[in-house]
Amino acid sequence: MQGKSQRLVELDFFRGLVLLVIVVDHIGGSMLSRVTLHAFALNDAAEVFVFLGGFATATAYACVTVRRSESAARARFFRRAIEIYRAFLVTAVLMLATSFVLRPFFGSAPNLATTDLDSFLATPFTAIADVLLLRRQPYLSSVLPMYAFFALAVPLVVPLARSRPWLLLGASVALWAVAAPLAEYLPSADDLLWDFNPAAWQLMFVLGVLACCQPLYQRVSSHRFGWAVSVAALGIAVGMAYYKLLVLPASLDGDFKRNLAGVRIVNFLAIAWLASDLARRGVIKQIAERLPWVGAVGRDGLVCFAAGAVISLIVDSVLFTLTDGFLDVPLGFAADIVALGLLLAIPHRQRVFGAMGLGSVVAVAKTEGERRAVR
């Protein structure tokens, strides 16, 4: 990536693309989900989402520091943690409300938050307390609590990424290594496990911060033997695809993703390196300029995530009922078109989300450049 503006254009595009992929990946009968990242890699869009979150965070922190001060940046990300927590509450309510409305008509759909809904209807005050305390995280709202923790850690992580990157990386890897037993201490109701263990996934966030703060890719790729790293990354990506498509069992234990298995990290880094090669050659920038609506989704990431969660839940439930859970190519493509069309329209409908309390999440900086950096 050659310049700041180009880097932000590419960042917006990648974040928007990931949000679009997340929507179709959570529609069981989707046709497009048969060719998205998770279909041929051991990782999926979640790693990309968290990594880009770390990259964007480091960009935003630097922007606020330069324009105002370090203390202003620390205060900004404390407020950001509160905003993400509020977005979690809004998304959790949307998951419960959507499940409540859909269950009489599409009760057999597998992704409705029926367990959480039943707990809410049986003991509403307890269920509300569970959500407020992060003990209960209905369906797709489960990715947001760890982001709130990450935002609180930003004032420590970003300065370390600048001054002592190896210390930060070592500490992050050490925490990831002991993440599985630490998951037992996370707040939970009814022995529910968090879908994303923050102690494990912080490594992916930290890698994103380091990628922004330290020019490792630029140094390696500019070396005369830099091409060898790209060849190795291609070999890893192809090898992982072979293993995923022809060797690996159809389903894996939930801990494989919950605790961020090491092979997922390796697979992601190989693909990220190849994507960086494309970005360095200007390919991603050209695509982003031809598809500006994808970047618009990325710039309104938190709002589009909450909307996408509702869209995917509704479309998945309707499609599952219409097809009795079987694969139907025409209806699957129709579901993809509806879901993606609705999500692409969200950036132009921000006022609707502002009425739900998410408006301040979008307007997080005074200047246009700072606003883009935070997103």
Cα(37)–Cα(348) distance, integer angstroms:
27
State the CB neighbour count (10 A cutoff) for residue 82: 14
Give the largest Cα separation in the chain, rounded: 66
pLDDT the model gives residue 371: 42
Cα(12)–Cα(295) distance, integer angstroms:
5
* Strand residue runs (E) in 155-298: none
pLDDT the model gives residue 88: 96
Mean pLDDT of the chain: 89
Give the residues of the chain that fall short of pLDDT 50: 1-7, 351-375
User: H or E segment at 340?
Assistant: helix 329-345
Rounded (5°) CA angle 149-154-157: 115
User: Which tens digit of pLDDT belongs to each residue from 21-35?
Assistant: 999 999 999 999 999
Tokens of 17: 């693309």
pLDDT the model gives residue 350: 55
Q: Are 139 and 95 in contact (CB under 8 A)?
A: yes
Q: Are 130 and 96 in contact (CB under 8 A)?
A: no
Cα(197)–Cα(257) distance, integer angstroms:
9
Which residue, 157, 196, 199, is CA-closest to 176?
A: 199
Phi/psi of residue 369, each to 5°? -65, -40
Which residue, 113, 121, 60, 53, is CA-closest to 302?
A: 53
Which residue, 159, 161, 183, is CA-closest to 172?
A: 161
pLDDT the model gives residue 349: 67
pTM: 0.89
Cα(185)–Cα(151) distance, integer angstroms:
20
Phi/psi of residue 221, each to 5°? -65, -30
- Token pair 């994808």 is found at 294
Collapse the DSSP code of 266 into the 3-class scheme (helix H, G, I; strand E, B; otherwise coil) and give the result.
helix
DSSP class of residue 141? G
pLDDT the model gives residue 57: 95
pLDDT the model gives residue 1: 39
Cα(154)–Cα(124) distance, integer angstroms:
35
Cα(200)–Cα(198) distance, integer angstroms:
5
Which residue, 191, 86, 182, is CA-closest to 141?
A: 86
For 39, 112, 344, the CA distances from 283, given in Å and listed in that order, are: 23, 39, 22
pLDDT the model gives residue 352: 47
Cα(302)–Cα(347) distance, integer angstroms:
11
Cα(213)–Cα(44) distance, integer angstroms:
24
Cβ burial, residue 16 (10 Å; 0-12/13-18/19+): buried
Q: Are 111 and 317 in contact (CB under 8 A)?
A: yes
